[in-house]
């Protein structure tokens, strides 16, 4: 599924404005420091051992923001919305508590079961030197397969180790798959780079790839 966060290679969004921050100040605004602390606390509380929550689910919440809000909101403003959705989804708070600005007296009741770990069918499908092609459609709500490599051919550079598949962990299920560093010629990805000898290395899960 293509969402607004996947901007690689897309045009028409205007110049990227540089924000001049004081490098000696970690959080230029006090509310961002408080938000960071709340986020770290909530991520620890909603660990995979306790609920079906995963970091990939959190990312998927951000991807579901309306495109105009996603592009307009500050980075930390997106975090606020994601934490509100997470809190409501997990039964920690309800919408009215956020509207009122006061937490209820009820204790935290987690609503999800711990995620189930599944084995992957593509665990050792490729080796260095294999020619592969990235799939055109991931067929999932959340994916880490960039749109600009879909349908493009590359070569497996190295095996980078097993990792949870984001497409599944965004739904609360842990599927461990082998990952690979895949080398793509820039001219394969961008027509205007026809004379370039540059390459791009992308870490990819086995189920994102088909053999050539």
Interval 76-101: pLDDT, tens = 888 888 888 877 877 778 888 988 88
Kind of pairing, strands 199-205 and 173-185?
A: antiparallel
CATH value of 116-211 in 3.40.50.970, 2.30.30.50, 1.20.140.10, 2.30.30.30: 2.30.30.50
pLDDT at 199: 96
Using CA atoms, how far apart are residues 175 and 115, in angstroms rounded to an integer?
10
Judged against a pLDDT cut of 70, whether residue 120 lies above it is answered with no
Mean pLDDT of 161-176: 87
Fold of 1-114: Cyclin A; domain 1 (1.10.472)
Instruction: State the CB neighbour count (10 A cutoff) for residue 97.
Output: 16
Q: For the chain, where do the domains classified as CATH 1.10.472.20 start and end?
A: 1-114
Confidence grade of residue 185 (pLDDT, cut at 50, 70, 90): very high
Confidence grade of residue 57 (pLDDT, cut at 50, 70, 90): confident
Q: For the chain, where do the domains classified as CATH 2.30.30.50 start and end?
A: 116-211
Q: Residue 79 is encoded by which pair of tokens?
A: 């975090």
Mean pLDDT of 184-190: 94
Q: Which of 172, 187, 185, 181 is nearest to 208 (CA)?
A: 181
With 0-12 CB in 10 A as exposed, 13-18 as middle and 19+ as buried, what is 8?
exposed
Which has more pLDDT, 40 or 21? 40
Judged against a pLDDT cut of 90, whether residue 211 lies above it is answered with yes
Confidence grade of residue 52 (pLDDT, cut at 50, 70, 90): low
Q: Which of 164, 206, 140, 144 is nearest to 54 (CA)?
A: 164
Distance in angstroms between the alpha carbons of the first and the last residue of the chain: 24
User: CB–CB of 176/120 below 8 Å?
Assistant: yes
């Amino acid at each position: 599924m293509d969402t607004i966060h996947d901007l690689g290679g897309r045009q028409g969004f205007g110049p990227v404005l540089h924000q001049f921050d004081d490098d000696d100040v970690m959080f230029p605004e006090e509310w961002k420091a408080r938000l960071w602390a709340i986020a770290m606390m909530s991520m620890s509380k909603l660990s995979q051992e306790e609920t079906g929550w995963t970091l990939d689910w959190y990312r998927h919440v951000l991807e579901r923001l309306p495109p105009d809000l996603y592009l307009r909101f500050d980075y930390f403003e997106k975090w606020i919305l994601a934490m509100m959705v997470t809190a409501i989804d997990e039964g920690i708070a309800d919408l009215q508590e956020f509207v009122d600005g006061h937490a209820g007296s009820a204790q935290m009741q987690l609503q999800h079961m711990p995620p189930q770990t599944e084995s992957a069918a593509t665990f050792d499908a490729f080796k260095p030197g294999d020619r592969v092609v990235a799939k055109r459609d991931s067929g999932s709500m959340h994916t880490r397969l960039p749109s600009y490599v879909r349908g493009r051919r590359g070569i497996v550079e190295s095996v980078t180790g097993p990792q949870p598949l984001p497409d599944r962990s965004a739904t609360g299920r842990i599927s461990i798959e082998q990952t690979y560093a895949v080398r793509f010629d820039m001219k394969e990805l961008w027509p205007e780079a026809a004379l370039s000898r540059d390459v791009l290395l992308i870490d990819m899960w086995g189920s994102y790839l088909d053999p050539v």
